[in-house]
Structure 1
């Protein structure tokens, strides 16, 4: 925990950007229309039809107020590896090192890179990152999770029927939030943790 909190206290450095990555999924739901005779009012069934699941990867640079969202149909190790490569080679190609914060999900490791790419490519991408994991059961320390919560409330509260409309909704929200330069007002420090979360520290006799 203190390792992640210390990273958040670092000054902004475009050559070593601090980037948080997390993902979520949403059920796609569409209304089922009931056929009726010509001239009769349209009827909609009270039951919804499940239409698959959409996954969203959130790539968030808190100090710059920038985020990128990638919508997929799955969130496997391969998907995560592709997100890492995109982050390294497309979003931050000129960074000396990307300071990465993720939670402890089993796919959030360099092993995902080796499942997806050749050993040489996996090694190259892995070396582009300085990796920091949040503690188990403490994923709230990953600011990307906060950003996902904001996206869910602002853009995804109402069910969406299909992947196309889901991608459009997420893309529109991402563009608007980036245009506003919205940042997370993070104020929880290592010193705060030692006071407020004292119960989590070992007792020294």
Structure 2
């Protein structure tokens, strides 16, 4: 039986250049590299049998890709579209499950606090959306829309009527500005707060150091050695921390911290020292501001808005203390706790740099505008729901 002659190949200069890149490129897929090599061999006038001997491929493979290029050019070397497996679920079913995930379980009468993929699959089958659907299928549908209904975040309404003004004062101080004027070289900004109830938990067995493929091990059982409060004042622009431990928090312990800072230089002779604090009971309200100024005339108390401790930079330092000193808690007594806190202060002050605080008053205005829109939308939805 006669054999059909090999299809002649005559690529253009541009096609030949592209074929060379495909055949010898380091990032080319293996299958595309072989197809390009077949075409280049054919372009040199070689027979299919010779190409088979030089490449080690099957004769049918060589014929296929030589013929595809002869008919379609470079696009013929790509895989043809496959119909694939028929869809098991319709687009409507996918949309219904996704819409269900965007509702609170309580709104649908399900006694759950939040959805999981198995619970969504179960609910979809109970509602007749699908005869059977697996949790992995639901998870894939949700991933397409970046939905994770099992996660949650806490938030709180702004209740302080002077939130914008108070927050702006704090942000201006971080930017070395007060009432529209830049701060002088002899004016300082201190961020202060208390970290309450740091316990001394003496583990009943020694903590084991980490090893190869093994995390540090801390015994679960412990004896209580009491608790203390850690008070810290952070110089925002000099990146220096002043701390002290006290048996408990209160007005007197806070004033002890103020005195510890204000009696040393450069704060003792400074023109003004601004103390940024939250609305804790130790330094709340006008009385606290007057008490501070009476004790140190060059000190001024500046309060953050209610429920806005995140504006206080010392909280970032406290988060470092929690991660690097307090947790996991394994101390023999409160004396060791105090010693470690003081040692960490020295270690931090030796290398600390001022925080790169990027939240400005412009960002504050954008945040408040978004919250206003969110509140208005929520109230509108509530009104529609009540009317229905």
Structure 2-normalised TM-score? 0.44
Go from structure 1 to structure 2 and tell me whether the alpha carbon gap of 1:112 and 1:3 turns closer, same or farther (over 3 Å shift).
closer
Deviation at 1:12, TM superposition (A): 6.5
Go from structure 1 to structure 2 and tell me whether the alpha carbon gap of 1:30 and 1:139 turns closer, same or farther (over 3 Å shift).
same
Deviation readout 1:136-190 (Å, 9 max, x if unpaired): 1110101011111112112221212312111121111111111103321111000
**CA distance in 2 between partners of 1:16 and 1:173 (Å):** 27
Q: Any conservation in 2 of the 1:63–1:183 contact (CA below 8 Å)?
A: yes
1:156 aligns with 2:326: yes
Deviation readout 1:69-104 (Å, 9 max, x if unpaired): 111111111111211222222352121211110001
Which residue matches 2:364? 193
Which of residues 324, 329, 336 is equivalent to 1:165? 336
Which residue matches 2:170? 4
Go from structure 1 to structure 2 and tell me whether the alpha carbon gap of 1:190 and 1:127 turns closer, same or farther (over 3 Å shift).
same
Which residue matches 2:257? 83
Q: Any conservation in 2 of the 1:84–1:125 contact (CA below 8 Å)?
A: no
Which residue matches 1:93? 268
SS class of match (2:260): helix
SS class of match (2:263): helix
SS class of match (1:197): helix
Q: Any conservation in 2 of the 1:58–1:68 contact (CA below 8 Å)?
A: yes
Which residue matches 2:222? 48
Looking at secondary structure, tell me which structure has more helix per residue: 2
Looking at secondary structure, tell me which structure has more strand per residue: 1
Unaligned stretches of 5+ residues in structure 2: 1-166, 177-181, 206-218, 376-388
SS class of match (2:234): strand
Which residue matches 1:180? 351
Deviation at 1:126, TM superposition (A): 4.8
Q: Any conservation in 1 of the 2:199–2:225 contact (CA below 8 Å)?
A: yes
Aligned residues: 187
Deviation at 1:196, TM superposition (A): 2.6
Go from structure 1 to structure 2 and tell me whether the alpha carbon gap of 1:104 and 1:158 turns closer, same or farther (over 3 Å shift).
same
SS class of match (2:282): coil
* RMSD of aligned alpha carbons: 2.7
SS class of match (2:186): coil
SS class of match (1:107): helix
Q: Any conservation in 2 of the 1:81–1:113 contact (CA below 8 Å)?
A: no
**CA distance in 1 between partners of 2:353 and 2:188 (Å):** 17
1:31 aligns with 2:203: yes
Which residue matches 1:69? 243
**CA distance in 1 between partners of 2:276 and 2:191 (Å):** 5
**CA distance in 2 between partners of 1:53 and 1:66 (Å):** 25
Go from structure 1 to structure 2 and tell me whether the alpha carbon gap of 1:137 and 1:50 turns closer, same or farther (over 3 Å shift).
same
